[in-house]
């Protein structure tokens, strides 16, 4: 291999900005990342609703990955029990190997019961709701009462996400009841009217139109209600079904050139594309 090539293991902020510095100095850079997507904690550790922060970082990372002397390979685990090992990388004779693998472990409190079922580290829990494999498919079940140890930003993010998940569970039950009555097919045929109060209303309202994507329905609106109120009303959509995204929308067929598509799909396929903020 060219002696001017540097391997960077890890594509979080540290790895990517190191790659930029090395590439700017004139070296060829090969980035090897465990995850498919680059970004590390900046991608999978930030609450989905914080889209300004995420999008800003993604733009910076995109510029780095677009540099002509930077190559990126995702889903490439460097471990002693994988095909890619440190010794294997050395056999390619790069001029240097930079390890930017981040804080992979979790902190323990040393308290009895912290390894019991239903006790999770914040890092793993955040990875779960940010849909990072394999955490996305793992069981992070909670009961109706949840205690969060800590008082930082992550604590607030987890509390907000748990509130949204509680609403989603209630909505799913209401949808299943309608399906059992043969009033609905899939959840995408459902339109939801949610009545909520307090912090629950605030968490849902902050999602805007993206709430329907979080709840996997074609429409979802939230209205402020009296204290301690949470009610989900499910109505079968009266609109046509988009043949591409399967959402039931009033604007399906509004574009004569694409009579089977909704406006969002027409924009995504033939226009500027949608600008989703949260989901």
- Output the pLDDT for position 132: 84
Tens digit of each residue's pLDDT (9 = 90 or more) over 223-279: 999 888 899 999 999 999 999 999 999 999 999 999 999 999 999 999 887 776 655
How buried is 181 (Cβ within 10 angstroms: 0-12 exposed, 13-18 middle, 19+ buried)? exposed
Q: Where are the domains of the chain?
A: 5-99, 142-238, 241-270
Spatial distance between the Cα atoms of 267 and 245, rounded to a whole number of angstroms: 12
Contact 35, 11 (CB under 8 A): yes
Query: Would you say residue 4 has pLDDT above 90?
Result: no
- Output the pLDDT for position 279: 58
**Contacts for 161-166 with beta carbons within 8 Å, 24 or more apart?**
161/47, 161/129, 163/199, 163/200, 163/203, 164/203, 164/204, 164/207, 164/214, 165/129, 166/200
Q: Kind of pairing, strands 190-196 and 248-249? A: unpaired
Which of 196, 217, 220 shows the shortest CA–CA distance to 207?
A: 220
Instruction: Work out the average pLDDT over 58-85.
Output: 92
pTM of the model: 0.72
Tens digit of each residue's pLDDT (9 = 90 or more) over 119-130: 999 889 988 888
CATH architecture observed for domain 142-238: 2-Layer Sandwich (3.30)
Instruction: Work out the average pLDDT over 43-57.
Output: 82
Q: Kind of pairing, strands 248-249 and 240-241? A: antiparallel
Which of 161, 158, 138 shows the shortest CA–CA distance to 214?
A: 161
Instruction: Work out the average pLDDT over 132-139.
Output: 86
Tens digit of each residue's pLDDT (9 = 90 or more) over 178-204: 999 999 999 999 999 999 999 999 999
Query: Would you say residue 1 has pLDDT above 60?
Result: no
Query: By percentage, how much of the chain surpasses pLDDT 90?
Result: 61
CATH pick for 5-99 out of 3.20.20.100, 3.10.20.30, 3.40.30.10, 3.40.50.720: 3.40.50.720
Tens digit of each residue's pLDDT (9 = 90 or more) over 87-121: 999 999 999 999 999 877 788 888 898 889 999 99
Contact 262, 245 (CB under 8 A): yes
Q: What is the mean pLDDT of the chain?
A: 90
């Amino acid at each position: 291999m060219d002696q001017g090539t540097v391997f960077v293991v890890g594509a979080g902020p540290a790895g990517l900005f190191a790659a930029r510095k090395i590439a700017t100095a004139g070296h060829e850079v090969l980035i090897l990342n465990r995850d498919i997507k680059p970004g590390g904690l900046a991608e999978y550790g930030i609450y989905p609703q914080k889209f300004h922060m995420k999008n800003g970082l993604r733009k910076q990372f995109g510029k780095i990955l677009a540099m002509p002397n930077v190559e990126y390979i995702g889903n490439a685990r460097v471990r002693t029990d994988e095909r890619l090992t440190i010794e294997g990388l050395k056999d390619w004779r790069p001029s240097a190997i930079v390890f930017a693998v981040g804080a992979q472990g979790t902190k323990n409190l040393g308290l009895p019961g912290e390894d019991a079922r239903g006790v999770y580290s914040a890092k793993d829990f955040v990875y779960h709701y940010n849909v990072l494999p394999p955490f996305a498919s793992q069981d992070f079940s909670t009961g109706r009462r949840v205690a969060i140890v800590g008082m930082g930003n992550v604590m607030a993010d987890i509390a907000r996400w748990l509130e949204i998940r509680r609403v989603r569970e209630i909505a799913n039950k209401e949808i299943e009841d309608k399906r059992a009555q043969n009033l609905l097919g899939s959840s995408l045929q459902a339109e939801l009217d949610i009545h909520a109060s307090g912090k629950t209303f605030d968490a849902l309202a902050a999602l805007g139109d993206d709430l329907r994507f979080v709840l996997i329905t074609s429409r979802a609106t939230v209205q402020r209600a009296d204290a301690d109120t949470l009610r989900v009303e499910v109505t079968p959509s009266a609109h046509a079904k988009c043949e591409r995204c399967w959402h039931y929308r009033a604007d399906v067929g509004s574009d004569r050139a694409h009579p089977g598509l909704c406006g969002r799909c027409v924009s995504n396929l033939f226009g500027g594309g949608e600008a989703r903020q949260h989901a």
